[in-house]
Structure 1
Amino acid sequence: MSEQTSAAGTSPSYGSMEGQVAVVTGGSRGIGYGIAARFRAAGADVVITARKENALRDAAERLTAEVAGPGRVLPLVAHAGDSAAADACFAEVRAELGAVTTLVNNAATNPYFGPLLGLDEARALKTVQVNQYGLVTWTRSAVEVGGLGAPDAPVGAVVNIASIGGRIVDPGIGWYNATKAAMLLLTRQLAWELGPRIRVNAIAPGVVATELAAEVVRARREVLEAQLPLRRLGTPEDIGHAALFLATELSGWMTGQAIVLDGGALALPIAVEDGATS
């Protein structure tokens, strides 16, 4: 048994990301930032992408100043639904840092809230482009341009940030949740297509206190927390810990799976009301 795969507690490298290159889409805030911070603390070179340059630069400065780690932090402006942007991003990453070892498909959008029959084409397509097609195009680019899973590279990891919304009915965000359900299916499909050189897994969070869920959190935090078995909402750090597990040999025999992190929301009795999720 190699040092990297020896039992936990017997090797200082177990769960380490030193020497690895991780790309986190939507990494300037919320869950993406929490994952990037955890990867940096574990020793990785971390690349964060987002559409807004100022927010991205500020996030990179915070990561460098507030999170100790030996690796570099590289911010790159890119749209998660743009295949050309993905190619350009991974070309720069490979030139600056070397082959990518981990991709986190975290960036998401939700421009529509309301019943499905009120959904217009423009917002429907935008949601699919980022949440669903973006997962495919960024994974493809990571492999073909970034070197993820190359024969001369370590076994790669893809971590998709889905949602428990992909498993339930939730008023107002049915279309968003449909794209998250698609992410869960695509995770299994890509695990089959990309093995054994790349492992593909997902995280399905419940309500996490981020900007994306700000309206829900402000209006209903006490109600939501009172219902959950663990009596609190999730944090970006909670998701970061799970992402580290999926990105390293801690989960070396795991692919095509989804970890649910929801404080126990899916364990609630059906009769409980007002159980909105993110």
Structure 2
Amino acid sequence: MRNALITGAAARLGRAIARELHRDHRVIIHYRSSATAAQQLVDELNAIRPDSAAALHSELAGAADCEQLAEQAIRQWGGVDVLVNNASAFFPTPVGRANEDHWDQLIGSNLKAPFFLSQALAESLARGSNSGISGCIVNMADIHAERPMPRHPIYCAAKAGLVMLTKSLALELAPRVRVNAVAPGAILWPEQETVDEAAKAQILERIPLARTGSADDIARTVRFLVSEAPYISGQVIAVDGGRNLNI
């Protein structure tokens, strides 16, 4: 059975991805501050299949944190075959109010950590290809990596960088590791910002499918890229109901 590490997996999209990949993987639930939620998920998954889930903490604040998390993840079951870079900071940084700490948080979680974690796990991810199944990285991008979101220039720049990192790593790590990204649209409303009903209605008007998606839509797409797409690499799949056509 293959082993998957999902960052930011204690809540929201990461939690749904962990549950979906657990269908045919052992999963490592990375968390930063949600220890209780992470342990609850581990207990839930281990009740389904013993010794199939574990939780690891990391701040992912720099290269050293990423290397330490990679080492711990490899030791858990002897290797990591799948990496899902899902952990992400998200908050507005309007020009004139942004500071260097905002830059470091947004670039650090959305771009720096995915690179250094991918680098630290590259050898383990490639090792699994000896069995005929390539290692796999899935990065959580955003439709606003290509079309900017007002008041979020640093976040959008970080996600744009992640899209290029996805393509670059797909080239650098081939042929033994595939690298792709998923770009969510309106799936879950942000926790850090209050979105009033009028703003929600305005967003929904721009979605051709006229509704929000669900965390399961993202999780199923991640699982497709991990388990059912052996000839797909370097791609970004938008899961947004067509919203990218209408931004």
Common fold by TM > 0.5: yes
1:103 aligns with 2:103: no
- Which stretches in structure 2 are left out of the alignment for 5+ residues? none
Give the secondary-structure state (helix, strand or coil) at the position aligned to 2:195. Answer: helix
| 8 Å CA contact retained: 2:84, 2:140 | yes
1:148 aligns with 2:125: yes
Tell me which residue corresponds to 1:14: none
> In 2 relative to 1, CA 62–116 (structure 1 residues): closer, same or farther, beyond 3 Å?
farther
> Using the alignment, how far apart are the partners of 1:210 and 1:61 within structure 2?
27
The one-character-per-residue Cα deviations of 1:92-137 (angstroms, maximum 9, x if unpaired) are 22222121110000001024x1423432111112211111111101
Give the secondary-structure state (helix, strand or coil) at the position aligned to 2:202. Answer: helix
User: AA paired with 1:258?
Assistant: V
Give the secondary-structure state (helix, strand or coil) at the position aligned to 1:74. Answer: strand
> In 2 relative to 1, CA 98–210 (structure 1 residues): closer, same or farther, beyond 3 Å?
farther
> Using the alignment, how far apart are the partners of 2:218 and 2:203 within structure 1?
18
- TM-score normalized by the length of structure 2: 0.90
| 8 Å CA contact retained: 1:44, 1:70 | no
Calculate percent identity across the aligned residue pairs.
Answer: 28
> C-alpha displacement at 1:55, in angstroms?
2.9
> In 2 relative to 1, CA 81–74 (structure 1 residues): closer, same or farther, beyond 3 Å?
same
> In 2 relative to 1, CA 235–63 (structure 1 residues): closer, same or farther, beyond 3 Å?
farther
> C-alpha displacement at 1:69, in angstroms?
5.0
Tell me which residue corresponds to 2:216: 237
Q: How many residues align?
A: 244
> In 2 relative to 1, CA 230–114 (structure 1 residues): closer, same or farther, beyond 3 Å?
same
The one-character-per-residue Cα deviations of 1:142-171 (angstroms, maximum 9, x if unpaired) are 124xx1112645410000000001011221
> In 2 relative to 1, CA 230–100 (structure 1 residues): closer, same or farther, beyond 3 Å?
same
User: AA paired with 1:140?
Assistant: Q
1:74 aligns with 2:74: no
> Using the alignment, how far apart are the partners of 2:224 and 2:147 within structure 1?
25
> C-alpha displacement at 1:213, in angstroms?
6.8
> C-alpha displacement at 1:227, in angstroms?
3.2
> Using the alignment, how far apart are the partners of 1:210 and 1:69 within structure 2?
32
Query: Where does 1:1-278 land on structure 2 (aligned, <5 Å)?
Result: 19-41=1-23, 43-52=24-33, 53-65=35-47, 68=48, 72-111=52-91, 113-144=92-123, 147-150=124-127, 152=130, 154-209=133-188, 211-212=190-191, 215-216=194-195, 220-248=199-227, 250-268=228-246
> Using the alignment, how far apart are the partners of 2:68 and 2:153 within structure 1?
33
The answer to which of 43-52 and 219-228 deviates more is 219-228
> Using the alignment, how far apart are the partners of 2:79 and 2:107 within structure 1?
28
> Using the alignment, how far apart are the partners of 1:213 and 1:234 within structure 2?
19
- TM-score normalized by the length of structure 1: 0.81
| 8 Å CA contact retained: 1:47, 1:75 | yes
User: AA paired with 1:167?
Assistant: E
User: AA paired with 1:148?
Assistant: L
> In 2 relative to 1, CA 247–75 (structure 1 residues): closer, same or farther, beyond 3 Å?
same
> In 2 relative to 1, CA 264–240 (structure 1 residues): closer, same or farther, beyond 3 Å?
same
> Using the alignment, how far apart are the partners of 2:114 and 2:101 within structure 1?
19
> C-alpha displacement at 1:219, in angstroms?
6.0
The answer to which of 123-132 and 239-248 deviates more is 123-132
